[in-house]
Amino acid sequence: MSKMTPQEMARHIGNGLLSFPVTPFAPGNVFDEARYRSNLDWLCGYDVAGLFAAGGTGEFFSLSPAEVVTVVATAVAETAGRVPVLAGVGYGTQIATELAAGVEQAGADGILLLPPYLVFSEQEGLAAHIEAVCKATRLGVIVYNRDNAIVTEETLARLCERNPNLVGYKDGIGDIELMTRIHLRMGDRLTYIGGLPTAETFALPYLEMGVTTYSSAVFNFVPHFSTKFYAAVRRRDRETVQAGLRDFILPLIAIRNRKRGYAVSIIKAGMKVVGRDSGPVRTPLTNLTQSETEELAALVARLDKGEFATRELAAA
């Protein structure tokens, strides 16, 4: 069971880089526990404030509820307290509340509440959904404002009044006006997380708005680059940040934008490029083509010529 209070968890993750480990699949499309453990052990060697097991990049949408709990339990066991583990929770209210209880039992340190499946709802319905999940667990909950689950500052304030364990807000829509209203209304009551794809692109302007951390998908396969980039963001080193965007992030985005679903697929391809093949993505996503994977490999290899040189990337 988690030993962190919701407030302690929120403060901790707000002071460092976050990431969503991929969920590896072995032949037969089954969870590859050995590869997952190896990947997590590697990532724990870098300066990361929290890992989100079975999150968006971890293909939460393709996992059964039982698999979600298994993935989270494996992450908790492997990290062994080195890094807080937060769990993805979602779908409709009934499944989400059951998952919240399940991942708490599995030892998670917190929850990221993903948008409910498919439906669009009024604020009253979204609030009831979020509150039900908060009431189903003692863990700290982070609400993910994205797609069909966009809460206003008024809704968020009412939820925070009634639910002390609602401790975080992750922005995945990029509405600067709404983000400003929420931050001015809630202040330090919440920890704010950048969740736009790709978060590095928005990191500097969001920092000025009080968003001190973000989730880095590329941390999965270029963790040294990601941690150096985050450090540059926090010290407001615009030259270094712009170099990272120009030399790596924006070219990667150009590949990612070619097909729908590539935001996850390109991270799985990156794992293969650096020698940590974590299998394919599950349908309905599709994998990068061979030529696209080769483009990504060349991009990763060129990192050793710039600001973010690492022995791991040079070897890849």
Predicted confidence at residue 2, as pLDDT, reads 56
pLDDT digits (tens, 9 = 90+) for 160-171: 999 999 999 999
Distance, in Å, from the CA atom of 299 to the CA atom of 244, rounded to the nearest integer, reads: 12
Per-residue tokens: 180: 């400003």
pLDDT at 305 over 90: no
pLDDT digits (tens, 9 = 90+) for 184-212: 999 999 999 999 988 999 999 999 999 99
Strand-pair partners of 111: 87, 141
Predicted confidence at residue 200, as pLDDT, reads 96
Q: Which residues are catalytic?
A: 144, 170
Question: Strands of 213-214's sheet, edge to edge?
Answer: 18-19, 50-53, 85-89, 110-113, 140-145, 166-171, 191-194, 213-214
Whether 148 and 115 have beta carbons less than 8 Å apart is answered as yes
Tell me the percentage of the chain whose pLDDT exceeds 70: 95
Distance, in Å, from the CA atom of 137 to the CA atom of 308, rounded to the nearest integer, reads: 41
Predicted confidence at residue 306, as pLDDT, reads 64
Three-state secondary structure call for residue 140: strand
pLDDT at 35 over 50: yes
pLDDT at 315 over 80: no
pLDDT at 308 over 90: no
Residue 119: pLDDT band (50, 70, 90) is confident
pLDDT at 118 over 90: no
